[in-house]
């Protein structure tokens, strides 16, 4: 019979092996796109796909030295994504450096970067003119609480009309740090845009945040439900990437896709780091018995979040770390032969 210590060691090795294996497999599916020099560093795009060619993450990396000797003037650069990103619809990233911010200056007047993830071609983007956009965006294509930043909607040359989350913190009287903007032109969605201040980057964040979803999308493809801002101390670089994609058919709604997922998956908890609660989302593509458990770094089982048969659908569950010490924890989803492990960070 195994002792408690042996069992814990086995659990820990099991978790660690799964986590390292997962990371190793993911690393094999990373493809780099365009790059450019900025400040004393480098900016480059990349895409991570799984074994079936489905996008897992689409992002931009800034080396830490980018923040040394940044130019005093604004800059705008178009960076292609590798071709493997096309299944997600995203084609290129328009990367902006705004040392004085941009209008409205009382909200977005701080030095920051714009990362426009475009789903139209470079040729289509550059043909977008400046001026009032008289086309109406159908309500089902607009995320809840989003509104045009201008009234009437005004198209920025080479970009489109910017739609902001009216409930985001900077529109509630707080200092702007990060936000997500949607872009439309002539009624069609053209980009998703994380905007992040230099001051926020300097905090070396490691967070996963929601990308609010519309009721439905106009084009068939994979769309992100979350995005992350991560500082990698070992590589001395910052990664900004959209992830946790759901597939939307041209005639289906996001709600229908979430209720009828085509595969099993486990998303990164959000917020992350967290204190004391966080949300974990997972999907079941066929009726199965599901377990979702949380472990500490020693392999001790901390909590059982799910332990029952589940029908097809997407789910979310809250984990409360009250009473636990700060540190790294692992959560494991097992659905039949499908097993996936992710880590979360509790900071108090």
Confidence of residue 246 (pLDDT cuts 50, 70, 90): confident
Rounded to the nearest 10°, the torsion over CA 149, 151, 152, 157 is: -30
pLDDT in the model for residue 54: 78
pLDDT in the model for residue 154: 96
**Residue-range domains of the chain with CATH:** 30-259 (no CATH), 262-346 (2.60.40.1930)
3-state secondary structure of 136: coil
Percent of the chain with pLDDT over 70: 87
CA distance 105 to 182: 19
Average pLDDT taken over every residue of the chain: 88
Confidence of residue 249 (pLDDT cuts 50, 70, 90): low
Cβ pair 244, 224 in contact under 8 A: yes
Q: 14 or 184: which carries more pLDDT confidence? A: 184
pLDDT in the model for residue 263: 80
pLDDT in the model for residue 22: 42
pLDDT in the model for residue 72: 95
Query: Which residues are registered as beta bridge partners of 278?
Result: 319
CA distance 148 to 171: 13
pLDDT tens per residue, range 278-296:
999 898 988 899 999 999 9
Cβ pair 146, 161 in contact under 8 A: no
pLDDT in the model for residue 9: 46
The yes-or-no verdict on residue 113 having pLDDT over 80 is yes
Sign of the dihedral defined by the CA atoms of residues 327, 243, 184, 261, in that order: negative
Cβ pair 304, 334 in contact under 8 A: no
Confidence of residue 29 (pLDDT cuts 50, 70, 90): confident
pLDDT in the model for residue 288: 92
- Backbone φ and ψ for 140, nearest 5 degrees, come out as -70, -15
pLDDT tens per residue, range 38-95:
999 999 999 998 777 778 899 999 999 999 999 999 999 999 998 877 667 899 999 9
The yes-or-no verdict on residue 253 having pLDDT over 60 is no
* Structure letter (DSSP) for residue 33: E
């Amino acid at each position: 019979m195994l002792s408690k210590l042996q069992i814990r060691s086995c659990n820990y090795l099991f978790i660690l092996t799964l986590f390292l294996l997962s990371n190793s497999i993911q690393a094999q599916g990373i493809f780099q796109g365009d790059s450019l020099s900025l400040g004393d560093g480098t900016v480059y795009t990349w895409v991570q796909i799984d074994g079936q060619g489905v996008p897992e993450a689409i992002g931009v990396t800034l080396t830490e030295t980018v923040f040394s000797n940044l130019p005093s003037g604004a800059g705008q650069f178009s960076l292609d994504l590798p071709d493997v990103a096309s299944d997600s619809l995203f084609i290129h990233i328009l990367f902006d450096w705004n040392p004085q911010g941009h209008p409205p200056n009382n909200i977005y007047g701080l030095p920051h970067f714009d990362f426009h993830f475009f789903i139209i071609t470079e040729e289509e983007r550059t043909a977008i003119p400046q001026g009032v956009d008289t086309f109406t965006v159908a309500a089902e294509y607009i995320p809840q609480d989003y509104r045009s930043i201008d009234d009437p909607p005004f198209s920025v040359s080479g970009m489109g009309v910017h739609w902001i989350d009216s409930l985001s913190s900077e529109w509630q009287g707080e200092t702007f740090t990060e936000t997500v903007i949607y872009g439309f032109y002539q009624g069609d969605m053209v980009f998703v845009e994380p905007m992040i201040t230099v001051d926020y980057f300097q905090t070396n964040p490691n967070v996963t945040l929601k990308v609010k979803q519309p009721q439905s999308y106009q084009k068939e493809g994979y769309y992100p439900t979350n995005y992350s801002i991560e500082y990698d101390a070992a590589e001395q670089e910052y990664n900004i990437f959209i992830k946790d994609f759901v597939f939307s058919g041209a005639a289906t709604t996001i709600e229908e896709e979430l209720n009828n997922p085509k595969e099993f998956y486990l998303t990164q908890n959000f917020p992350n780091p967290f204190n004391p609660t966080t949300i974990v989302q997972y999907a079941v593509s066929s009726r199965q018995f599901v377990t979702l458990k949380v472990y500490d770094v020693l392999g001790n089982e901390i909590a059982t979040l799910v332990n029952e048969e589940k029908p097809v659908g997407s789910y979310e569950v809250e984990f409360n770390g009250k009473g636990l010490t700060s540190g790294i924890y692992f959560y494991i989803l097992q659905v039949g032969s499908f097993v996936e492990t992710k880590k979360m960070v509790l900071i108090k």
